[in-house]
Structure 1
Amino acid sequence: MQEEERYTSLQWDNPTPNPYQKHLSSTKNSAHNCSPCPDNWIRNGESCYRVFESWTVWRTSREDCLKEGSKLLQIDSKEEMDFITGSLRKIKRNYDYWVGLSQDGSSQPWLWQDGSSPSPDLSPIQGPQSTNQVCGYLRNNSLSSADCSTWKYFICEKYALRSST
């Protein structure tokens, strides 16, 4: 005679909700049109870019990019800088746009958000000396630095989706 097993309760683990999970799933679904970049983003090579014309401090702009599944702009080459300043028509002359570059005091190196250093030809023009964190921004054709708590527009960057063909 077989012994009958009974389960009195079955309980699923409920993972702690991730605040970005809802956004990431909606971002994934928005790619159904097979475009390498979402609507309102502009593609160049392996990246997609979006210019945000809302005034924020550097930290908030970084968080806003994360909500978009991206990061603040990281300029890795002169060609990318030329594209950003020349081809991205939404960038207005004489306006400031936060990028993902920061420096924790004047004695520390400039670093992109991923921890890498900017190439020497793209190092920002030093603004006022500060013992506080300063952040990089793009104005016209050059990078400059300012106190991270000043208000500026910002540019986000994310990887373009690759075709599976």
Structure 2
Amino acid sequence: MDRKHSKLLEMSEDIYAEPDMTKKVKFNRGEMKERIVDIYVSADTLRDGETSTKREETADTAPNNGPGDQHSDRNVSKNSSAERDQLETKYNNLTKEKDQLQASYNNLTQKRDQLQTRYNNLTNERDQLQTEKAFLKMRLTNLKRTCPEGWQKFESSWYFLSTETKKTKTWKESREDCLERGADLVIINSDKEQTFLFNLNKRLWIGLTDSDIEGTWKWVDGTPLITGYWYYPQPDNAVPTQNEDCVEIRNDQLPLKAWNDLSCDSQLNWICEKAF
């Protein structure tokens, strides 16, 4: 603090000091006026000094808003814009990578499903081959066996021929006999098999009927007739019954033209077949 301010503070202290009422003081009016003027002047000077000091402090602490600061604000704004652009570019790149990964994932999922389908198909084929292998193994085992008594072998089947004339049966009874033997009435699949049966030289029931639908001939396993060995003009569903729904092989015709439709209640020999 300079001397001027110190003097003013001393004068202020003198003014506001409590007077000593025990002392008697004489005042010169002229001196009093001068002192009052000095006091006012000094007080104004003190206020001006304090105001100046505050103004200086405010100037020191206040932010600088001059041209230099405006340039700094522009730099900050420019940097923020650059950072925003960088973030935007990074976001776009990440989005693009995400889409590429999603497409790759979808392709891999599709390939996986295709491989799963192929695996399932191969598994089914393997199971079928194993089943066929087991079947062929069973057939081979059966082929190695000798025919049971009363049976004879031809190609891949065994045949049981009823030979006693006194034991002729209806078509239904003949089939029941075959079923009891673990077989069924014969199903003819080839010219060779037809010729083999014809050469047995008997009238025989075979496993063919149209008892369900007239004119629709089916084998006992439910399969439709494809190749027939009828002798002319059979089948004719002839009188008197007009109910000839079962088929026999006649032994007085040609080997491949020997079938005749007949009433199922007629009594004939029969032939059973058991495939192995």
Give the counterpart of 2:267 among 151, 154, 164. 151
In the alignment, which residue of structure 2 is the partner of 1:46? 156
- Note if 1:135 corresponds to 2:265: no
1:126 aligns with 2:223: no
What TM-score comes out, normalization by structure 1 length? 0.65
- C-alpha distance in 1, partners of 2:261/2:156? 27
Aligned match of 1:37: 147
Q: Which has the higher helix share?
A: 2
Structure 1 residues 145, 133: CA separation in 2 closer, same or farther (over 3 Å shift)? closer
Change beyond 3 A, Cα 1:105–1:132: farther
Q: Distance in 2 between matches of 1:36 and 1:65?
A: 19
2:162·2:271 contact (CA, 8 Å) conserved in 1? yes
The share of aligned pairs that are identical, in percent, is: 28
Deviations 1:94-146 (A, max 9, x none): x4210101012774311100111223343572141666461011112311110
Please provide the CA RMSD for this pair.
2.6
Change (3 A) 1:115 1:106: closer
The C-alpha deviation readout for 1:47-89, integer Å capped at 9, x for no partner, is 0011103210000000000011000011111111112223xxx
Distance 2:248 2:217 in 1: 12
CA distance in 2, matches of 1:153, 1:59: 12
More strand by share: 1
* 8 Å contact kept, 1:76–1:118: no
Q: Does 1:64 align with 2:64?
A: no
Conservation of the 8 A alpha-carbon contact between 2:214 and 2:245: no
Give distance in 2, aligned partners of 1:105 and 1:68. 25
Partners of 1:43 and 1:49 within 8 A in 2: yes
Instruction: Tell me, yes or no, if structure 1 residue 104 matches structure 2 residue 211.
Output: yes
C-alpha distance in 2, partners of 1:51/1:83? 12
Tell me the matched-pair count: 123
Unpaired stretches in structure 2, ≥5 consecutive residues: 1-143
Residue 249 of structure 2 aligns to a residue in which SS? strand
1:80 maps onto 2:193 in alignment: yes
Following superposition, the deviation at residue 151 of structure 1 comes to 0.5
